[in-house]
Amino acid sequence: MTMPVRQNREDRAIGQVCEKLRTVFGDRSRSEVDGVVSRVAESFTAARIRDFVPLLVERISRDELSHRFGPVRGFRC
């Protein structure tokens, strides 16, 4: 798979993470949720193996948002 195709797929997956977490943390602003996801995603910039980056970004972002704003009831991943 070429680098632009892989990057495009990863960008779409990160966008879906943002959408999902905005729904889960619906009482938080879009910029708060997207900011956390963006910061976490940037921490993986130098990662050589990219396959699990979106999954890791989602889990770390969800954990950070839960710690910052409190757990979300009724939501499990």
Q: Which residue has the higher pLDDT, 23 or 6?
A: 23
Dist. CA 68–CA 64, nearest whole Å: 6
User: Is residue 63 a contact partner of residue 26, using CB atoms and an 8 Å limit?
Assistant: no
Give, in order, the Cα–Cα distances in Å from 38 to each of 1, 2, 25, 73. 24, 23, 16, 24
pLDDT in tens, 54-75: 999 999 999 999 999 887 766 5
The pTM for the full model equals 0.86
Give, in order, the Cα–Cα distances in Å from 74 to each of 39, 67, 71. 26, 16, 9
pLDDT of amino acid 47: 95
Characterise 73 by phi-psi region: left (phi > 0), alpha (psi -120 to 50), beta (else). beta
